Amino acid sequence: MSRESEFVVVANRLPVDRVAGGNGWRRSPGGLVSAIAPVMRSRQGTWVGWSGAAGEELDPFVEDGMRLVPVQQTAEDVELYYEGFSNATLWPLYHDVIAPPVYDRAMWDAYVRVNERFAAAAAEVASEGAVVWVQDYQLQLVPAMLRALRPDLKIGFFLHIPFPPPELFYQLPWRRKILEGLLGADLVGFQLPGAAANFVRLCRRLLDARTVKQDVEWEGRRVRARAFPISVDVGELRELISRQEVRWRADEIRADLGGGIVLLGVDRLDYTKGITQRLQAFGELFADRELKPGEAVFAQIATPSRERVEQYQLLRDQIEQQVGRINGEYAELGSPVIHYLHTSYDREELAALFLAADVMVVTPLRDGMNLVAKEYVACREDLRGVLVLSEFAGAAPELRRGAFLVNPYDIDGLKETLLAAIRCEPAEQARRMRVMRKRVLEHDVDRWAAEFLDELEDPAAQPAG
Ligand code: GDG
């Protein structure tokens, strides 16, 4: 499979998961894969990524019409590059240092080594002049590494998480290297304009690069920094909620939860998601007698995530203690006030949960976008339900006119907002939901991918002379 793809996606993970028990593959759920899959098919695309199993050596294969090129990672790479530099250094640093980032030279070395491997694999499969789209914080060095190997390529990069302001980014011992890595791209995409502005400012201050508006001049090229807020697969969600069994399941969930107002949280179990803050606020509403047991119930789905990283283990213990304490205090026999589920569900069950929820509670302390907020809105064709949304979610600027915005650090504010959401009248729910739906339905994930690729391939934006 050498040098024959006009379109190459490079991401930490391949877009497929192994079918449990068997040895086949299944397309991974999620908007990114469904947005890119059609482009892959129409352009002879190849996806370069890791299979998810340490030490596994696999040959390239075709699945679901997509050509897949596996990049190997040893157990040590997983520990140092993935759990280490990606998830114990970059992830907390880029999310406002909510947890202290680990700065470890062996982790950095592994990050460089694994990025080199991804760049080499992409250089092997891309045809002359091909478009290569690199995804996310695990692969920030790939653009420059790839450009060194293949200056003929058109290289785009998209960061799914926030990009921090200079004051925080300065902590990183390898800060210049990361900026230089990203500047190998022709187009660097961020979720929000503020993140693009942070990047441009850092290039100016740390690299002395000349910048013109959102463009950085670098090594005789002009690198564009732009915002492309990601979105959800509206078509997929619409199909799911049209199924009778999903609607029945939503009714069943509501009945199982006891018939009170249903508040719902759906997150990866991650310290950026503000799970403890929302549960604390909810618990205090019972302590204050603003709510009575049975009147409202909180269902919190916490999908297992990065379970070998210490901060995630600590968080899990903390949440489990907190849920135990709140239920211990306020639940009545047979009716807990919080239902906490540390597990992952299929898309049908998630859609049913969204339909069952009166109040969707999305309170991250910092989040690049937050797709759950947009998925909830996309599912509520009935114009019912209320979204409580953190000001610190990337989705806030787009949904601010319909959501109940909240500062999740302000527990009293959070309590007031939860109560206002619980008491929101149907006509007001519909008014708010209509505004949010207009935005989400008009800006779905297909449009996001098309806008990024159109900008990347814009003939008017060729390198500066
Ligand atoms: C990163 C950025 C940015 C959740 N539980 C289950 C499940 N999910 C799905 C949700 C949603 C996705 O996972 C989570 O996306 P988020 O955007 O909410 O959060 P991150 O995982 O942190 O994603 C984020 C995103 O990248 C895209 O750029 O928005 O800011 O942090 O789609 O529905 N899916 C299934 N079972 C579950 O139990 N199948």
* ipTM value for the complex: 0.99
Across 126-130, 267-271, 332-336, least confident range = 332-336
User: What is the bridge-based pairing of β-strands 16-18 and 25-27?
Assistant: antiparallel
Phi, psi of 213 (to 5 degrees): 50, -115
Quote the pLDDT of residue 99.
95
Quote the pLDDT of residue 41.
82
Domain 5-230+447-456 fold: Rossmann fold (3.40.50)
Maximum Cα interatomic distance, the chain, rounded to a whole number of Å? 74
Quote the pLDDT of residue 465.
40
Nearest alpha carbon to residue 360 among 436, 252, 293: 436
Catalytic sites, residue numbers: 160, 367
pLDDT tens profile 106-121: 999 999 999 999 999 9
Structure tokens at 152: 């003929």
Q: Which residue from 86, 273, 372 has its CB within 8 A of the most atoms of ligand 1, so it is best to mutate? A: 372
**Distance from residue 208's CA to the centre of ligand 1 (Å):** 36
User: Whose C-alpha lies nearest to ligand 1, atom 28?
Assistant: 160
Q: How many residues does the chain have?
A: 465
- pLDDT confidence tier of residue 31, bands split at 50, 70 and 90: low
User: Whose C-alpha lies nearest to ligand 1, atom 6?
Assistant: 344
pLDDT tens profile 279-294: 999 999 999 999 999 9
Separation of alpha carbons 409 and 422, rounded Å: 20
Q: Does the pLDDT at position 175 exceed 60?
A: yes
DSSP 386: E
**Distance from residue 276's CA to the centre of ligand 1 (Å):** 18
- pLDDT confidence tier of residue 204, bands split at 50, 70 and 90: very high
Rounded to two decimals, the pTM is: 0.97
Q: Does domain 234-442 have CATH number 3.40.1800.10?
A: no
Cβ-contact 364, 394 below 8 angstroms: no
pLDDT tens profile 209-264: 999 999 999 999 999 999 999 999 999 999 999 999 999 999 999 999 999 999 99
pLDDT tens profile 324-362: 999 999 998 888 999 999 998 999 999 999 999 999 999
* Sequence spans of domains, the chain: 5-230+447-456, 234-442
Structure tokens at 7: 């379109």
User: Whose C-alpha lies nearest to ligand 1, atom 20?
Assistant: 370
Question: For ligand 1, which residues put their CB under 6 angstroms from it?
Answer: 29-30, 160-161, 230, 266, 268, 303, 344-347, 350, 367-372, 375, 394
The two domains 5-230+447-456 and 234-442 share their CATH topology (first three levels equal):
yes
Quote the pLDDT of residue 20.
81
**Distance from residue 464's CA to the centre of ligand 1 (Å):** 38
User: What is the bridge-based pairing of β-strands 66-70 and 61-63?
Assistant: antiparallel
Q: Does the pLDDT at position 464 exceed 60?
A: no
Quote the pLDDT of residue 462.
60
